[in-house]
Amino acid sequence: MIQIELSHAGKLELAPYAEKVAQIDACIKNKTGAGNDFLGWADYAETYDKEEFSRIQKAGRYIREHFDALVVCGIGGSYLGARAAIEALNGLLPANTKRPEIVFMGQSFAPSYVKPLLNYLKDKKFAVNVISKSGTTTETAVIFRLLRDLLLEQAHGDASAIQKSIYATTDAHKGALLTLCRKYGYETFVLPDDIGGRYSVMTAVGTLPMAASGIDVAAFMEGFGRGEKEFSNPNLSENPAYQYAVARYLLHEKRGYPVELFVTYEPRFVQLGEWWKQLFGESEGKDGKGLLPDSATFTTDLHSLGQFVQQGNKVLFETVLKIKEPCCDVVIPEDKDNLDGLNYLSGKTLSYVSEQAMEGTIKAHEEVGGVPNLILSLEKMDAEHLGNLMYFFMRACAMSAYLLGVNPFNQPGVEVYKKNMFTLLGKPGY
């Protein structure tokens, strides 16, 4: 169970919102609220296609055994969840065990990013997992065209030779990408109609890249399913996900904080922060409402943002992710000269030092800086606990957006830049 500590955020009166929370919980369960067509994630652990999940595991094994690299080609929710999970669980350095390198493309047009990666892949045996509901998302579609051309070039134009190199996660019934896959025999997986991209990490969108990277996706789904049971409790006093949602609401709407800073103490959680930012930013940021979600990695960012957080404009509160059990550790050695004056730390572990840095920072920001802190504690970071954490955030996000009175599952503002871009590029019809 994820624990939430509210004592570092000043006095937050959650109890008056218990009835409202129960009403919203009923809307989520009965799928009667705004955007209810996209609530498939809420009970996905009960309803997901077990046969497809077996195919995902099988494809993951095949990719691990036959390829040097897997290119995940997607943007937004079509790649952030997978990337967050892979980096959080596998770390940032190449693994010693046999697993392919996971490369992310399709989220940027920048030639300075794309060209070096294409050159890098020329000498690799690589597979592609292209992720797009329609197959026409511009960033993803452009890069997929380049990747497919590179695969065909490697196969000397033999389209049948690359059949086992391309996997698509797309609509079950329609779309340009599905049409292409059916024409050339590429294996396909489904992004369900009732699940939006930022809520899709537990579908093939996230689990296929995760499985290819060696992550135990069955354990991830077990944790996700446990989250459904733990965080769908309508009783506010017993549900930490709803407590988090109400605390955010109070700090924003009642105490005037416009920014939430998601803080971790692990560089491998940077992409988890990116996934969190999309989840909350795209779900709440509409109708002139919503917190601005930002993220930071301490202690690194204490040497850049720390001064502002401590003594700058009081525009933010912090949500700190605390992992109780480290995945590994390093003991600080003794030095006979002690010129750096650090022998007082000899024999102590880096995890211990990091924990004291965390506690000291929370105390400084709260007591001296006047910055509220919400503390989320997770026992450890493995596949099961990560699945549980991601469900926690998804359930909290839905509750939080409904408390604000906005639809958590649409993103009408995103379409504006696309229309302007298509006009400037000369796309027919624009």
The CATH number linked to 53 is 3.40.50.10490
Residue 318 phi/psi, 5-degree rounding, is -115, 140
Separation CA 403–CA 395 (nearest Å): 12
DSSP-assigned beta bridge partners for residue 91: none
Total domains in the fold of the chain: 2
Residue 162 structural domain: 44-215
Whether residues 226 and 324 share a domain: the answer is yes
Whether residues 286 and 324 share a domain: the answer is yes
DSSP-assigned beta bridge partners for residue 323: 378
The pLDDT value given to residue 391: 98
The 10s digit of each residue's pLDDT in 27-80 is: 999 999 999 999 999 999 999 999 999 999 999 999 999 999 999 999 998 899
The pLDDT value given to residue 95: 64
The pLDDT value given to residue 224: 98
Q: What is the mean pLDDT of residues 333-338?
A: 95
Active site members: 282, 303, 418
CB neighbourhood size of 123 (10 A): 9
Which segment of 95-109, 290-304, 343-357, 371-385 scores lowest on mean pLDDT? Answer: 95-109
Pick the more confident residue, 426 or 125. Answer: 125
Q: Is residue 314 part of a domain?
A: yes
pLDDT at 419 over 90: no
pLDDT at 99 over 90: no
Q: Is residue 424 part of a domain?
A: no
Whether residues 231 and 106 share a domain: the answer is no
Burial class of 249 by CB neighbour count within 10 A (0 to 12, 13 to 18, 19+)? buried
Split at pLDDT 50, 70, 90, the class of 96 is low
Q: How far is CA 119 from the centre of its chain?
A: 28
> CB-based contacts of 254: which residues, under 8 Å, 6+ apart?
none
Separation CA 77–CA 378 (nearest Å): 23
pLDDT more than 90, % of the chain = 91
The C-alpha angle 62, 64, 65, rounded to 5 degrees, equals 65
Whether residues 52 and 194 share a domain: the answer is yes
Q: Which of 186, 215, 244 is the last residue of a domain?
A: 215
Per DSSP, the chain holds a count of helices (H) and strands (E) of: 15, 10
The token pair at 203 is 């579908």
Whether residues 97 and 238 share a domain: the answer is no
pLDDT at 422 over 90: no
DSSP-assigned beta bridge partners for residue 126: 69
Whether residues 251 and 176 share a domain: the answer is no
pLDDT at 219 over 90: yes
The pLDDT value given to residue 334: 96
Q: Is residue 351 part of a domain?
A: yes
Whether residues 175 and 315 share a domain: the answer is no
Q: Using DSSP, state whether 128 is helix, strand or coil.
A: strand
pLDDT at 374 over 90: yes
Q: Is residue 93 part of a domain?
A: yes
Separation CA 18–CA 338 (nearest Å): 57
Whether residues 62 and 199 share a domain: the answer is yes
The pLDDT value given to residue 223: 98
The C-alpha angle 101, 114, 201, rounded to 5 degrees, equals 55
The pLDDT value given to residue 97: 67
> CB-based contacts of 430: which residues, under 8 Å, 6+ apart?
419, 422, 423
Whether residues 323 and 383 share a domain: the answer is yes
CB neighbourhood size of 155 (10 A): 14
Whether residues 269 and 163 share a domain: the answer is no
Pairing of strands 69-73, 126-131: parallel
User: If you average pLDDT over every residue of the chain, what do you get?
Assistant: 95
Split at pLDDT 50, 70, 90, the class of 373 is very high
The token pair at 103 is 């490369």
Say if CB 118 and CB 136 are below 8 A apart: no
Q: Is residue 409 part of a domain?
A: no
Whether residues 232 and 127 share a domain: the answer is no
The pLDDT value given to residue 5: 97
Whether residues 170 and 211 share a domain: the answer is yes
Q: Which of 215, 248, 270 is the last residue of a domain?
A: 215
Which ranges of 80-212 would DSSP assign to H, the alpha helix? 80-90, 111-121, 138-154, 176-184, 204-212
Pick the more confident residue, 118 or 134. Answer: 118
Q: Is residue 412 part of a domain?
A: no
pLDDT at 274 over 90: yes
The pLDDT value given to residue 426: 84
Q: Please tell me the number of Cα atoms within 13 Å of 31 on its side-chain side.
A: 10
Q: Is residue 339 part of a domain?
A: yes
CB neighbourhood size of 402 (10 A): 25
Q: Is residue 416 part of a domain?
A: no
pLDDT at 293 over 80: yes
Say if CB 376 and CB 4 are below 8 A apart: yes
